[in-house]
């Protein structure tokens, strides 16, 4: 199985993340956190049960910037 979240976190650590946004619906995921990257695949959706994990990651990145 593809290590979806591990790969996304690695891409974030490599400074490939351009921006992120919360949307009401993306395809069949509602609500959804969309991560936008400067490399392919450009958009990665995150389901609600993982929001807190990514918010913590964003806080740590902001603190270290």
User: What is the side-by-side strand order in the sheet with 32-37?
Assistant: 17-23, 32-37, 43-47
Boundaries of domain holding 29: 4-64
Total domain count, the chain: 1
- The per-residue pLDDT for 45 is 98
**For every one of its 65 residues, what pLDDT tens digit does the chain have, with 9 covering 90 and above?**
569 999 999 999 999 999 999 999 999 999 999 999 999 999 999 999 999 999 999 999 888 87
């Amino acid at each position: 199985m593809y290590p979806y979240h591990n790969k996304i976190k690695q891409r974030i650590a490599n400074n490939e993340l351009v921006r992120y946004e919360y949307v009401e619906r993306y395809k069949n995921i509602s609500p959804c956190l969309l991560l936008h990257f400067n490399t392919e695949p450009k958009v990665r959706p995150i389901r609600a049960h993982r929001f807190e994990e990514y918010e913590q990651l964003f806080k740590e990145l902001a603190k270290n910037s």
